[in-house]
Amino acid sequence: MVNCCGLVSEKNQPVPLKSISVELQVRDHVASVSSCLQYVNEEERPLEAVFVFPLPADAAVCHFSARIGEQEIVAEVQDKQSARDQYDDAVSSGQQAFLLEESEESSDVFKLSVGCLSPGQKASITIVYIIELSVQADDALRFCLPAVLNPRYTPAVSAAGVPEVSSASVIPYTLSLSVEVRSSDRISKLESSCPLDPLEFLDAQHTHAKVNLSSGHRFDKDVELFLYYENSHHPSAVVEAGASVAESGSLMGDPALMISLYPEFPADVMSSLASQGEFIFVVDRSGSMGCKMHHGNDAQMRIESARDTLLLLLKSLPMGCYFNIYGFGSRFESFFPQSVVYSEDTMEEALKRVKSMRADMGGTEILQPLKHIYSQPCYPDHPRQLFIFTDGEVWNTKEVLDLVKSHVYSHRCFSFGIGEGASTALITGMAREGSGHAQFITGTDRMQPKVMQSLRFALQPAVDNISVDWSVPEGVTVDMLSPSINTLFQGQRALIYAQIKGQSSGQTEGSVTLKYRLKDQPVTNQLQFTLKPAEDTGLTIHRLAARSVIRSLELQERAGGADMENIRRRIVELSVQAGVSSAHTAFIGVNKDSKQTVKGPLLQRRVPVARMMGAFGGPGMNKCVGMAPRMMRRSPMQCDIQSNRMRMECDSVSFKKGMAPRMMRRSPMPCDIQSNSMGIECDSVSDDCYEAEAEPQKDPLLQLISLQKAAGCWELNASLAAVFGKTEDQVTNQKAVQVDGSVWATVLALIWLYAFKSDQQVEWQFVAMKSASWIRSQKPNGLSQCVCDGNALLGCQVTEDMLGI
């Protein structure tokens, strides 16, 4: 592991972040996360540390404090420029100060500046944020504590850079994590990608539970938690009292209401699949896609897994639809000038090009291919479905999301984050703004089953015509805070925020009626809710509601218009009132009570937390393997870090295993980190990336699927026989005379799938459906005998009903 772009001490040691402790409190579908980070200045001079780190994309930071000895400094939310000025003034006068701000370019990147730590001094930083938990395809609620934040690729042509970004995994800090869950629904189980102590239930109804991460965990990979409720599809309404100190009639003063809508799709709807559509697959081919999927010995390269996934997708598409494939890096290319009709010829042409796809297209610039796709006219009666595969290392996340949102009525977007470090802001944001579904492929997850689940969503009907009607007593009104919802697809949940205003002299309850249509059938749900909620609930729902309003306003602001100044003022007002982060505010804390100011010149340290060379969003890291990274090299490079300018040279940056790049520090001068970008050229790479791809062992399932024709049938030949472990003669001699060779081959393929690959059915379900449909269209004679003969040849007992023929 290497340190890529951080300031280090004179002894080449990083600023010590000693440990991280996290308390996670889950209430139904939302969570409050309190993280405590322990720092110490082990140098002989005063220190300013800048730590750039990831948070989940939709997190609303609502508390920031620092404890130095017995002194606690609680930060306030202020206008961002005002907070920066106050921080600069404090640090330049030798006072201890702390500044926490959201990145200008991506809502999942935060920068923490820790100013004026004396030699030997310890600081304990506490950050609290709240977040909606995302829903997975198996109905689990997912929480992720990101350890990895990959550097964003910044093209040389960009006018403004982004902060150099980080991961905790260069120095795998000790992590302690405790989880407490309270729910109106019964808790089934809680699973994790990391070892947990046994789940402990605290009540007989199993609605209150706690669990801890097993001790000794090194924070060198994302920590994922998956929470399962028994009745996850039941809609719910939770009311939260306002803050007693807040003004009545304000967002924080009146009760807030959160409704959860997670429609269940009946089996008959799930089985009705569309046969039309335009399917566009957009695949990241930047250098980082040459990294391994995980650290195990059997790990595939990311690009290799993407190729296998494209094979499955191409074989699973319905005849007569339209499709195209794009590859992107610092440039992009498409297989066809525009989407083409899916046929045997176009499928075979696409498969040939898929086999030659490599991680050889430079950095990660997704905006231009998206603009090109959206410029293409849509095909009538063929709804556009966009599938985007990336390890998520882009620099202009907000601009990408705005583009997707502007085309929401002409397409749906399904996004896939590959590997740890994929930007949650990008992956979840594209799916949210494109009314699709997001999936993350981390650890030892296989890409194919998750992608095929999303393909099923893309081919199924959706919930539409969604309406919300309120019934409240006289004197009470309900104001919607969330934007209207147009559509929900299988696997999607909506959280709707509203505010209860006014007083009722009599009734203490109201109700909400949710109506929608699913496959032309009306569905109605009615929920009761209290008008007098219990006090002191932590204001989680209020702050999430405020965050929802702020994000909507930020989108309006980026869209431009005459009212931008008023929108910005409203964002700052809401952010300060609710105490939550926004693009225009920051948390600032200054130790004004300190009896002693820090003397002497101030050192600056960037906590170096870039994961490994392969985490870079640039192109292939070895000049011998494709291209070297096109992060623009600037030597010497001027970088602004608030009031202290540091000039650095990336003199001879060698990335041999175990070595950090040499950084030449020069005299401090004033500047701003937000305008800084750093370019690095590398001559060798981490062991995890760009290894020569050895000829892989052929997966029998993928080998079988690769032989299928676009219409759904197989041909009887030696390659097919080899998948069954037979010779061509053995397979041919068992065939009844009256049975066509292709029918016999297709029946055998189906029998083999159901008998030997039933555990991977989610991957081949569409392949099998096409095959069964093709067999039925042939109306063959002697089909029952054909199935019996096939079972005898392959040693199976599969029935015609199982095969669907």
Low-confidence winner among 175-184, 443-452, 544-553, 565-574 (lowest mean pLDDT): 443-452
The CATH T-level fold of domain 273-459 is: Rossmann fold (3.40.50)
Would you kindly state where each structural domain of the chain is located, as residue ranges? 17-229+581-590, 273-459, 700-803
Q: Over the stretch 443-477, which tens digit does the pLDDT of each residue have?
A: 788 889 889 888 988 887 778 888 999 999 988 99
Give residue 492's pLDDT. Answer: 77
Instruction: Please say if the pLDDT value at position 725 is more than 90.
Output: yes
256-271 average pLDDT score:
83
Instruction: Please say if the pLDDT value at position 208 is more than 90.
Output: yes
Instruction: Please say if the pLDDT value at position 652 is more than 90.
Output: no
Give residue 491's pLDDT. Answer: 72
- Identify which of 62-66, 396-400, 489-493 has the greatest average pLDDT: 62-66
What is the rounded distance in angstroms from the CA atom of residue 513 to the CA atom of residue 516?
10
Give residue 335's pLDDT. Answer: 97
Give residue 494's pLDDT. Answer: 85
What are the residues whose beta carbons fall under 8 Å from the beta carbon of 25, sequence distance 6 or more?
Answer: 31, 32, 33, 34, 179, 180, 182
Give residue 697's pLDDT. Answer: 57
Give the CA count within 13 Å in the CB-facing half-sphere of 577. 24
Q: Could you tell me which residue, 565 or 71, shows the higher pLDDT?
A: 565
Give the CA count within 13 Å in the CB-facing half-sphere of 46. 19
What is the rounded distance in angstroms from the CA atom of residue 550 to the CA atom of residue 545?
9
Give residue 551's pLDDT. Answer: 86
Cβ neighbours of 590 (radius 10 Å): 23
What is the rounded distance in angstroms from the CA atom of residue 349 to the CA atom of residue 343?
10
Note the pTM of the prediction, 2 decimals. Answer: 0.68
Containing 447, the helix (H) or strand (E) segment is: helix 447-459
What is the rounded distance in angstroms from the CA atom of residue 115 to the CA atom of residue 721?
69
What is the rounded distance in angstroms from the CA atom of residue 542 to the CA atom of residue 59?
14
pLDDT band at 258 (very low <50, low <70, confident <90, very high): very high
Low-confidence winner among 178-187, 491-500, 581-590 (lowest mean pLDDT): 491-500
Give residue 18's pLDDT. Answer: 75
By the 8 A CB rule, do 424 and 57 touch? Answer: yes
pLDDT band at 272 (very low <50, low <70, confident <90, very high): low
The architecture CATH gives domain 17-229+581-590? Sandwich (2.60)
783-803 average pLDDT score:
92
pLDDT band at 410 (very low <50, low <70, confident <90, very high): confident
- CA 737 to mean position of chain CA atoms: 54
Give me the percent of the chain exceeding a pLDDT of 90.
Answer: 41
Counting other chains too, the contacts that 800-803 makes at CB distance below 8 Å and 24 or more residues apart are: 802/754, 803/747, 803/750, 803/751, 803/754, 803/768, 803/772
Low-confidence winner among 3-17, 290-304, 753-767 (lowest mean pLDDT): 3-17
Instruction: Please say if the pLDDT value at position 180 is more than 70.
Output: yes
Q: Could you tell me which residue, 61 or 48, shows the higher pLDDT?
A: 61
Nearest one of 144, 324, 134 to 224, comparing CA atoms: 144
Backbone angles phi, psi at 419, to 5 degrees: 80, 160
Q: Over the stretch 514-558, which tens digit does the pLDDT of each residue have?
A: 998 887 789 998 999 988 887 666 799 999 999 999 988 988 888
What is the rounded distance in angstroms from the CA atom of residue 361 to the CA atom of residue 159?
22
Give residue 672's pLDDT. Answer: 33
Low-confidence winner among 79-83, 172-176, 654-658, 742-746 (lowest mean pLDDT): 654-658
Instruction: Please say if the pLDDT value at position 779 is more than 60.
Output: yes
Q: Could you tell me which residue, 656 or 381, shows the higher pLDDT?
A: 381
301-329 average pLDDT score:
94
Give residue 173's pLDDT. Answer: 65
- Identify which of 157-161, 255-259, 665-669, 697-701 has the greatest average pLDDT: 255-259
Give residue 594's pLDDT. Answer: 57
Based on its alpha-carbon atoms, the radius of gyration of the chain, rounded to whole angstroms, reads 28
Give residue 650's pLDDT. Answer: 28
Handedness of CA 329, 334, 338, 341 (dihedral sign): negative
675-684 average pLDDT score:
29
In the sheet with 256-261, reading across from the earlier edge strand, the strands are: 236-240, 256-261, 494-502, 476-480
- CA 372 to mean position of chain CA atoms: 24
Q: Over the stretch 729-778, which tens digit does the pLDDT of each residue have?
A: 999 998 988 889 999 999 999 999 999 999 999 899 999 999 999 999 99
Q: Could you tell me which residue, 657 or 399, shows the higher pLDDT?
A: 399
Give me the percent of the chain exceeding a pLDDT of 70.
Answer: 80
- Burial code (b: 16+ CB inside 10 Å, e: under 16) for 159-186 equals eebbbbbbbbbbbebebbbebbbebebe
Q: Could you tell me which residue, 22 or 20, shows the higher pLDDT?
A: 22
Q: Which two tokens stand for residue 202?
A: 């605290």
What are the residues whose beta carbons fall under 8 Å from the beta carbon of 93, sequence distance 6 or more?
Answer: 597
pLDDT band at 708 (very low <50, low <70, confident <90, very high): very high
Amino acid at 55: L
pLDDT band at 480 (very low <50, low <70, confident <90, very high): very high
Give residue 576's pLDDT. Answer: 95
Average of per-residue pLDDT values in the chain: 79
251-279 average pLDDT score:
84
Instruction: Please say if the pLDDT value at position 118 is more than 60.
Output: yes
267-287 average pLDDT score:
84
Helix axes 397-406, 367-375, angle to 10 degrees: 10
pLDDT band at 496 (very low <50, low <70, confident <90, very high): very high
What are the residues whose beta carbons fall under 8 Å from the beta carbon of 275, sequence distance 6 or more?
Answer: 318, 319, 320, 321
40-53 average pLDDT score:
74
Give residue 393's pLDDT. Answer: 66
Paired residues of 773 in beta bridges: none
Give residue 8's pLDDT. Answer: 32
